[in-house]
Structure 1
Amino acid sequence: MTLALAVVLLAATVVLLGALVVLHVAPTGLSPVGEPVSRYALTRWRAGYAVAAASAAVAGAAAGLLVPQRPAAVPALLWLFAAARALIPFFPMDAPGVEPTRHGSIHRVLAVIAFATVTLAAVFAATGLGDAGYPALSTLTRVCSALMIVGTIGTVVAARAPAVRPLFGLMERLIYLGMVVWFGILAIVFLAA
């Protein structure tokens, strides 16, 4: 079971990374520094965004089944992350300059849930992984969670402070970087175990 879950986690992470790379090199006119990743859903490249979200959901669900069950909150957080990522393509963000919509509001809630749960899962998992006999993985998980924490704080500040708003996309991508690296490392370690 562990091997199959690790394969699913690795495959989903590779697809997620590939979709994000395609979105970032595609001629979208979006700035990776200033624009949220969700804005790709408002371009003709929305299918790439949907693939990224779906693969993140699969990776989160697989990770939730793969990580040690201590603390118990980690699998639940990862499954909540997976659910939020699976739903988010159906509720695109509001386009810039338009009145807020119900879909846009739901999108914001789902984004907050996704980023908060994957970040907290990594924070809590670091201890459980260490206790389960994976000290190096525990350390790497702490590094990934630190990236996600910095990105989360940065997105909150950028969303509220006009002076740093132009860095919103960069801060959000720190969360993605921590998440993708963490999922990839989890998959590789459990494949080798």
Structure 2
Amino acid sequence: MATAAPALIPSRSRILATVALTTAVLDMVVLVAFHLLQPAVDPITSATSEYVSGTAGVLSQVATCAVGIGALALAAALRTVSRTGFAGRVLLGVFGAAKFVQAFFPIDAPGTETTTAGLVHNLTGNIAFFVLPIAALLLLGTLRRRAPVVLTWLLLATTVAVLGADAVGAFGLAQRAYLVTAALWVIAAAAAVVRPRAGSDQR
């Protein structure tokens, strides 16, 4: 019996998915680079936002902005190719918008007074942190390939880990695990847009 051919993907969707994939890779490259550029920042206990105050700190803002743009691009790509997952796409867009705004409001340096920029940074960061795993969960029906599904559950696991890690002095480690998992989820989701399963709900 003949199998269904994969659906043709609009060029716009491919471009948007490629943007999302590229920004996720950039985010991971910058994270690795900071471990080399700022070895004094403890990756076990320190938040990645602290990199903005050190050597090449502007890369932290560039990467955060890129993550926001990539998430917005992925949400748009999913809208282009599938009619399912509306709530997930909306939350993915909220995540992208929060990260984009966060990039322009650096965290307050440890031991300094709280500033408006620091408050905005923390607010947008918390919004992004909580909505992404929910968005991923709601998009399970749209992204039916194994990689996005597995990474969704890993993302939920690392979210829980971050919430409890501060109590054992491992917030930085848990946060980095969350960020890497989030980037890998975006890559897997973008790949699923470019190469959907045969017979999936595509337009």
| Greater helix fraction, Structure 1 or Structure 2 | 1
Q: Which residue in the other structure is 1:5 paired with?
A: 16
Q: Secondary structure at the match of 1:128?
A: coil
In the alignment, structure 1 residue 83 sits paired with structure 2 residue 86: no
Q: Which runs of 5+ in 2 are unaligned?
A: 1-11, 197-203
Please provide the CA RMSD for this pair. Answer: 1.8
Larger Rg belongs to: 2
Q: Which residue in the other structure is 1:146 paired with?
A: 153
- Cα deviation for residue 22 of structure 1 reads 1.4
Distance in structure 1 (CA, Å) of the matches to 2:165 and 2:185: 24
* Paired AA for residue 13 in structure 1: A
- Cα deviation for residue 69 of structure 1 reads 4.2
- Cα deviation for residue 114 of structure 1 reads 1.0
Q: Which residue in the other structure is 2:69 paired with?
A: 58
- Cα deviation for residue 146 of structure 1 reads 2.3
* Paired AA for residue 76 in structure 2: L
Contact 1:53/1:89 (CA < 8 Å) preserved in 2?
yes
Distance in structure 1 (CA, Å) of the matches to 2:178 and 2:94: 16
Q: Which residue in the other structure is 2:32 paired with?
A: 21
The match for 1:115 among 129, 148, 153 is 129
Contact 2:38/2:55 (CA < 8 Å) preserved in 1?
no
Contact 2:38/2:51 (CA < 8 Å) preserved in 1?
no
Distance in structure 2 (CA, Å) of the matches to 1:112 and 1:129: 25
**Cα distance change on mapping 1:49 and 1:26 into 2, 3 Å:** same
Q: Percent identity?
A: 27
Q: Which runs of 4+ in 1 moved over 6 A?
A: none
Q: Which runs of 5+ in 1 are unaligned?
A: 131-136
Q: Which has the higher contact order (CA 8 A, sep 6+)?
A: 2
* Paired AA for residue 155 in structure 1: V
In the alignment, structure 1 residue 188 sits paired with structure 2 residue 202: no
TM-score by structure 1 length?
0.85
